[in-house]
Amino acid sequence: MRPAAETEDLLREAAPRVLAAVVRRFGDFADSEDAVQEAMIDAARQWPLQGTPENPTGWLVHVASRRMTDRIRSEASRRGREEAVAAAEPEPQVEPGEIGDADDTLTLMFMCCHPALTPASAIALTLRAVAGLDTAEIAAAFLVPEATMAQRISRAKQTIKRSPEPFRMPAGAERAERLRAVLRVVYLIFNEGYVSSGGGELARADLAEEAIRLGRIAHLAAPRDPEVTGLLALMLLTDARRPARADADGELVPLEEQDRSRWDRARTDEGLALLAEAVAAGAVGEYQLQAAITAEHARAEGAAATNWAEIAALYALLEGMAANPMVTLNRAIAVAMAEGPEAGLALLAELDEPLGSHHRLHAARAHLLERAGEAEAAVTEYERAAELTNSLPEQRYLTKRAARLRQG
């Protein structure tokens, strides 16, 4: 008898492989996803009591395919489409190892990142279909009601259902374009996991780990793509810091104050090796540049030894390639560390319009004002940043910084 927790882990791992097999056979993403979910529920009820089948994936494909056949038979009886039933028979006989390769899961990710979907919907659908998270878990991660997330996922599934696109790996230019969307979704999932946008937790380690898992799948399927490699390197190098990002009480520890001996050395080494592979490929992309910036921190023995001039130069390259206010904000911080706080504050002044209501602008300005010796102005900015953030750990950190400056 397998414990329920082990069964849950097994089902989550099998979910994308099973869904890929059923979608390939029946061609209907939305109905296939529902059928797979029903099969998962059956397995969660039966396996802990009756034992896990010798071929769990094959069992799930078989049950989900039966559900799909029943759906088609029901539709056929109402609409006279007997040929649809004939097309669905016989039921598949799945052998161990027959399905589940990285290409299948990546193809499923391509479907979830359909160009007609918004990034929010693509993330939700990817977490549901590929990562195996349920609607309540996804809603909790993004701080929206479960009903809202259910509607978002349902609309996304219907969008894909209306699309004539078959279950296949896109080719040529289409594949390159869609791969960029896949990488963007994985990157956004990782960001939400590494720095939770709200709630009582500083991070969502489960989301960060899931993004890294998806990044590994993409890298396995496209090992020579420098941006795929760059993104995986970026996530590993960044996530290596996670053990040092919070103190014993779960409070935020900023980068410059972290105990670097607590950084995950194995992940750092793997990330640096992957970055070297990406750089050797010759083509430079935004994820490689971000990984190169993170690598500068990883190579420094301590905060004082960080090569901020190099980091500022890399951010300048990134700004030219993928300009957005957050890149400019990060460049401003790097410039301030390399040239002095006044230089960074001058760059931040350009961001009042696009980022005036974002807590990160006010937190960055507060930090630089504090370094410049302007305590009163820094307090105002820290307090404004604390008002704007939805993350309770960040709010506590910013409030404490302001209180410390007020006291002296």
Residue 70 lies in a domain: yes
Between 112 and 234, the higher pLDDT residue = 234
CB 2 within 8 A of CB 48: yes
Q: What is the pLDDT of residue 3?
A: 57
Q: What is the pLDDT of residue 87?
A: 53
CB 271 within 8 A of CB 233: yes
Residue 145 lies in a domain: no
Between 102 and 221, the higher pLDDT residue = 221
pLDDT digits (tens, 9 = 90+) for 34-88: 899 899 899 888 988 888 888 888 899 999 999 999 888 877 665 554 455 445 5
Residue 94 lies in a domain: no
Q: What is the pLDDT of residue 178?
A: 85
Its pTM surpasses 0.75: yes
Mean pLDDT of 206-226: 91
What are the residues whose beta carbons fall under 8 Å from the beta carbon of 325, sequence distance 6 or more? Answer: 351, 354, 355
Question: Structure tokens of 53?
Answer: 């089948």
Question: Structure tokens of 210?
Answer: 């899931």
pLDDT digits (tens, 9 = 90+) for 375-387: 999 999 999 999 9
Between 95 and 346, the higher pLDDT residue = 346
Residue 34 lies in a domain: yes
pLDDT digits (tens, 9 = 90+) for 152-210: 999 998 888 887 777 777 777 888 888 888 999 999 999 999 998 887 888 889 889 98
**What are the residues facing 391 on neighbouring strands?**
199
Residue 285 lies in a domain: no
Percent share of the chain, pLDDT over 70: 91
Residue 203 lies in a domain: no
Rg (CA), the chain: 24
For residue 245, what are the CA distances in angstroms to 5, 284, 389?
A: 28, 29, 18
pLDDT band for 4, please (50, 70, 90 cuts): low
Cα 138–chain centre separation: 12
pLDDT digits (tens, 9 = 90+) for 74-124: 776 655 544 554 455 444 444 433 444 556 778 888 888 888 888 889 989
Residue 190 lies in a domain: no
If residue 218 lies in a helix (H) or strand (E), which one and from where to where? helix 205-221
Structural domain for 84, as ranges: 4-88
Q: Is 203 left (phi over 0), alpha (psi -120 to 50) or beta?
A: beta
Specify the number of domains making up the chain: 1
Residue 24 lies in a domain: yes
pLDDT band for 21, please (50, 70, 90 cuts): confident
What are the residues whose beta carbons fall under 8 Å from the beta carbon of 132, sequence distance 6 or more? Answer: 11, 12, 13, 15, 16
Average pLDDT, the chain: 88
Q: What is the pLDDT of residue 76?
A: 65
